[in-house]
């Protein structure tokens, strides 16, 4: 398989759902001005963090990867699982590459991304601090695959209600962090050879949080931006497809056990 990009950056917004359409997101608007986007990607059921981040990074639905918030908090992801993370594929193909994951919710680092891959992992207790660590890392490193998880939008959803004014303000704050990371790639001269993916793991119900299968909980924004991404709406996408898109971008052969697929037509050639 050909390697389409030197780098992929996956920037995840916990609990963002499809509510980006209601928030002020000037940085994402610019990032995806020529990108492929959807506000109707379907995440995994139940709409819970470990289940959904697991699907995004492991390429399969929760019935297969079996992760729950409790499990990812308690033990490392099985390095022998038939459902390897996209980081494992990247490590197999690029033994010397820098791979990095920065998560506010650290169980993703320990419980979803395998521990035996030499992935640089870090966490912080606020999304702004996570972003600062990412920027400091990018100043001196050139990761082939970068994953970042911001957590505070979900916190605002639980506190104020998903879709509430203060929740939408938090999305706007995270938009600025996403913009800062994209700008760092630009300044490094990497932007033309990077695929950027921004996605939520799940949304939430204005009153009841998340975990169910209502549209507010299960529909998420996903955007892809890169030089061979076809501008327009992504049709028929699931959260687990992000693993497949990442593999395609880096020229990695997706395991047969993955059920995620590259959505039709998102690459222009
Ligand atoms: Zn979540």
- The alpha carbon of 169 and the centre of ligand 1 are apart by a number of angstroms equal to 18
Q: How far is CA 46 from the centre of its chain?
A: 18
Q: Which helix (H) or strand (E) holds 151?
A: none
Q: How confident is the model at residue 135 (pLDDT cuts 50, 70, 90)?
A: very high
Between the CA of 13 and the centroid of ligand 1 the distance, in Å, is 8
Rounded to 5 degrees, what angle do the CA atoms 71, 201, 129 make? 85
**DSSP secondary structure of 217-263:** HHEEEEEEESTTBPSEEPPS-BTTHHHHHHHHHHTPPPPTT----PP
* Share of residues in the chain with pLDDT > 90 (%): 98
CB contact at 8 A, 36 and 224: yes
Strand partners, 223: 37, 198
Distance from C-alpha of 123 to C-alpha of 113, rounded to nearest angstrom: 13
* DSSP for residue 36: E
**What is the 203 CA–ligand 1 centroid distance (Å)?**
8
Rounded to the nearest angstrom, the distance between the alpha carbon of 9 and the centre of ligand 1 is 19
Ligand 1: distance of its center to the CA of 12 in Å? 10
Point out which residues pair with 150 in neighbouring strands. 13
92-105, pLDDT tens digit by residue?
999 999 999 999 99
The predicted pLDDT at position 207 comes to 86
Report helix, strand or coil for 38. Answer: strand
Distance 49 CA to ligand 1 centre (A): 3
Identify the structural domains of the chain with CATH numbers, from first to last.
Answer: 7-250 (3.40.720.10)
How many whole angstroms separate alpha carbon 266 and alpha carbon 269? Answer: 9
For residue 8, what is the enclosing H or E element?
strand 7-13
What DSSP string runs through 156-221?
A: HHHHH-TTSHHHHHHHHHHHHHHHHHHHHHHHHT-GGGEEEEEEES---BTTTBSSS-SHHHHEEE
**Residue 156, pLDDT score:** 97
- The predicted model gives 142-169 an average pLDDT of 97
Q: In what order do the strands lie in the sheet with 194-200?
A: 120-122, 98-103, 143-150, 7-13, 194-200, 219-225, 36-42, 232-233
Cα gap 45→65, rounded to integer Å: 12
Task: Look at the pTM and tell me if it is higher than 0.85.
Answer: yes
What's the pLDDT at 28?
98
Distance 268 CA to ligand 1 centre (A): 31
* pLDDT tens digits along 195-237: 999 999 999 998 889 999 999 999 999 999 999 999 999 999 9
């Amino acid at each position: 398989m050909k390697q389409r990009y030197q780098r992929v950056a996956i920037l995840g917004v916990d609990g963002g759902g499809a509510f980006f359409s209601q928030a002020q997101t000037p940085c994402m608007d610019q990032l995806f001005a020529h990108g492929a986007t959807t506000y109707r990607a379907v995440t995994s059921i139940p709409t819970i963090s470990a289940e959904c981040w697991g699907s995004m990074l492991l390429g399969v639905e929760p019935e297969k990867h079996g992760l729950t918030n409790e499990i990812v908090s308690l033990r490392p992801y099985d390095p022998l699982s038939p459902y390897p993370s996209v980081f494992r594929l990247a490590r197999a193909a690029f033994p010397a590459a820098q791979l990095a994951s920065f998560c506010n919710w650290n169980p993703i680092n320990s419980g979803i991304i395998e521990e035996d891959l030499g992935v640089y992992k870090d966490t912080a207790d606020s999304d702004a601090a996570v972003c600062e660590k990412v920027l400091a890392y990018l100043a001196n490193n050139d990761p082939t695959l970068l994953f970042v998880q911001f957590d505070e939008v979900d916190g605002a959803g639980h506190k104020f209600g998903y879709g509430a004014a203060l929740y939408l303000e938090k999305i706007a704050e995270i938009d600025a962090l996403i913009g800062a990371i994209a700008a760092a790639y630009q300044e490094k001269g990497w932007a033309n050879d990077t695929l950027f993916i921004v996605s939520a793991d799940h949304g939430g119900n204005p009153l009841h949080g998340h975990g169910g299968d209502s549209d507010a909980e299960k529909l998420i924004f996903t955007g892809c931006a890169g030089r061979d991404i076809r501008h327009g709406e992504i049709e028929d996408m699931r959260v687990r497809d992000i693993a497949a898109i990442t593999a395609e971008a880096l020229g990695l052969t997706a395991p047969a056990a993955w059920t995620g697929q590259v959505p039709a037509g998102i690459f222009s050639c």
